Structure formats: structure tokens, C-alpha cells
């Protein structure tokens, strides 16, 4: 439903994003991860159509809504007035959906936006985006400013929204420990390039740890991360042939967090 091909963006002479290609499907959650300055916000802004690419294309079907990191609201408006404005700006609007979200997170409709806590402020931005019943919802670091319980609840509710298979959700995040059970797909950016992308379940089966005697190489596979102690080496590898393993090596599964951090670490060291 969204197809991205050869996407690139530069600010003056510097490419912030290059050669980016992937698809976003309905009913799927895509996590966009990468170090500070990797190009996540640039990619989301291009997906939202808020600035033109310098190369490549984004083709999206349906309504795309974007909640930016700073989530601008009119400070003097009450929450209810903010929703009324969102209604006027959108051809399709579901007031019940927006109000339900705000009730769930205890945000008073009659409170001025300038008097909301940063967490409540974020909820108003989410409610306004969801009220527009988007086909593609893009959230730039939606979990920042939220306490751990609210983060969990927001994620659970967003997953519910995706579950009926109509919407595609993309969220950028630095909270990689909370991706397991949330993300179906991953896009990992490093210095403007996609270095890992695909279905998370598939990527998990393609990666594993080899633990064995101190050595320079693992028994097979492409090394993503290597750690050595005096007598022991541990390799996180991308490998599909581990089933035939014999010799001194043992294998261990990787977690989503291990996988993402290992790739971030590898790219950081380049
Ligand atoms: N308006 C701009 N003008 C010039 N350079 C920019 C502009 N916006 C972003 N950049 C540069 O483009 C690169 C990608 O920035 P971007 O904001 O997309 O990264 P990010 O992954 O969202 O970072 P963070 O995790 O810190 O929010 C960075 O090198 C940044 O300095």
C-alpha cells in the first residue's frame, strides 16, 4: 500500500537519506530505528509528503497522517477546540475515536493545551491523528515523554488499531527493548542508509549467537558482532546453515534488542 523506491534527500550538499527502498503493508507495524541523526525524521517527513525527495519516489494509497516529535498544538485552544480544528482540516473524521483515546488517557477536553503535561500533550496529538482514520500513521518517537505504564498502554492501543488490518503503522523509536511483540517489520537506518530491513520474525530466525573457543571467526555466517574473552569467543552472525553444526561451538538465540543493538554498534564502529 506504500511503496518506496530509491528514496533520497539531501540538505545542501549532505545526503541525509540515500537509496532507500521498502514497502509498508496494511495491518503491520514497522519500527524505524537508528542512531541520532541516522535519517529517521527525514524519512518519516518524506513518507508524509511534507517535503519533496531529491531522488526516488514514495507512492501511498489513502490517507497518511504524521505525528512529529514536537507535536505542535495551539496553546490557547482547549483540547475540545483542538479536535474541532482537526475535524475541519480532515475530510474524514471520527470524533468518537478521538474522544475515546483522550478519555482512556485521562485528558480533560476542557483543559487549555498550554496547561497540559507533556504526556497529555502527546495524547492530544495522537487523538487528532487517529480521528482522521489514517491508512498510514507515522509516529516520530511516540514513546518519548511517556511514563512506562502509559507507554505500554499506548502501544497496546495502537496495536489494536492496526489489528483490524486497515492501517499501517510506522514508528521511530530509540526504545529498542520494547519492540519485541510490537513490531512486525524493521527498518534500521545508519547514516542515511537502510542497513537492515525486513520481517522481524524472519530476521530472528536468520540470526544466532555462536559461543565457542577463542577464535577469529565463527564456524559459518556473516559476523555482525564479535566479543572475545581470554578463552571464549561469542559471535552474533547472520546464518541459515546452523542446523548442521558440529564441533566445539554451541548456538544461542538472539533477542530483538540484541539484534538491533548489534547492528547499531557495528555501524557506529565503521
Ligand atoms: N533542516 C535540516 N537542514 C540541514 N540538515 C538537516 C536538517 N534536518 C536534518 N538534517 C541532517 O540530516 C541528518 C538526518 O537527520 P534526521 O533528523 O532525519 O535524523 P534522526 O534519525 O531523526 O535523528 P534523531 O534520532 O536525533 O531524531 C542529520 O545529519 C541532520 O543533521
Residue pLDDT tens, the chain, 270 long: 899 999 999 999 999 999 999 999 999 999 999 999 999 999 999 999 999 999 999 999 999 999 998 877 788 899 999 999 999 999 999 999 999 999 999 999 999 999 999 899 999 999 999 999 999 999 999 988 899 999 999 999 999 999 999 999 999 998 888 888 899 999 999 999 999 999 999 999 999 999 999 999 998 899 999 999 999 999 999 987 656 666 789 999 999 999 999 999 998 888
CA of 42 to the centre of ligand 1 (A): 6
- ipTM summary value: 0.98
User: Which atom of ligand 1 sits closest to the CA of residue 38?
Assistant: 21
- Grid cell 523509536 is found at 173
Give the span between the Cα atoms of 140 and 42, in whole angstroms. 10
3-class SS of residue 5:
strand
With residues binned 3-state (H G I as helix, E B as strand, rest as coil), the percentages for the chain, rounded to 5, are: 35, 30, 35
C-alpha cell recorded at residue 112: 487549555
Give the span between the Cα atoms of 224 and 237, in whole angstroms. 5
Give the span between the Cα atoms of 2 and 59, in whole angstroms. 5
Residue with CA at minimum distance from ligand 1 atom 18 = 39
CA of 36 to the centre of ligand 1 (A): 8
Give the chain's radius of gyration (CA, Å): 21
| 249: nearest Cα among 259, 241, 260 | 241
User: Which atom of ligand 1 sits closest to the CA of residue 45?
Assistant: 18
| H-state helical runs in the chain | 40-47, 79-89, 95-104, 118-131, 148-163, 200-206, 256-269
Give the span between the Cα atoms of 67 and 136, in whole angstroms. 11
Residue 212: CB partners within 8 Å, gap ≥ 6? 218, 219, 232, 233, 247, 248, 249, 250
Amino acid at each position: 500500500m506504500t511503496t518506496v523506491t530509491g528514496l533520497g534527500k539531501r540538505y545542501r550538499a549532505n545526503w541525509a537519506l540515500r537509496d532507500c527502498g521498502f514497502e509498508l503493508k496494511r495491518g503491520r507495524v514497522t519500527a524505524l530505528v537508528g542512531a541520532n541523526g541516522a535519517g529517521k525524521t527525514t524519512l518519516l517527513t518524506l513518507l508524509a509528503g511534507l517535503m519533496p525527495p531529491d531522488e526516488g519516489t514514495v507512492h501511498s494509497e489513502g490517507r497518511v497522517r504524521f505525528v512529529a516529535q514536537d507535536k505542535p498544538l495551539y496553546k490557547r485552544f482547549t483540547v475540545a477546540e483542538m479536535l474541532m480544528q482537526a475535524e475541519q482540516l480532515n475530510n474524514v473524521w471520527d470524533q468518537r475515536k478521538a474522544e475515546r483515546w483522550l478519555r482512556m488517557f485521562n485528558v480533560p477536553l476542557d483543559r487549555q493545551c498550554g496547561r497540559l503535561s507533556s504526556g497529555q500533550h502527546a495524547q492530544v496529538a495522537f487523538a487528532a491523528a487517529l480521528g482522521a482514520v489514517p491508512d498510514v500513521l507515522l509516529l516520530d518517537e511516540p514513546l518519548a515523554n511517556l511514563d512506562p505504564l502509559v507507554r505500554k498502554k499506548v502501544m497496546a492501543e495502537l496495536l489494536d488499531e492496526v489489528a483490524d488490518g486497515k492501517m499501517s503503522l510506522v514508528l521511530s523509536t530509540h526504545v529498542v527493548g520494547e519492540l519485541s511483540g510490537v513490531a512486525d517489520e524493521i527498518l534500521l537506518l545508519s547514516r542515511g542508509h537502510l542497513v537492515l530491513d525486513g520481517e522481524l520474525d524472519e530476521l530472528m530466525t536468520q540470526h544466532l549467537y555462536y559461543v565457542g573457543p577463542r577464535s577469529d571467526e565463527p564456524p559459518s555466517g556473516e559476523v555482525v558482532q564479535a566479543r572475545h574473552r581470554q578463552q571464549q569467543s561469542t559471535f552474533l552472525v547472520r546464518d541459515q546453515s546452523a542446523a548442521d553444526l558440529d564441533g566445539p561451538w554451541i548456538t544461542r538465540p538472539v533477542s530483538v534488542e540484541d539484534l538491533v543493538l548489534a547492528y547499531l554498534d557495528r555501524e557506529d564502529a565503521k
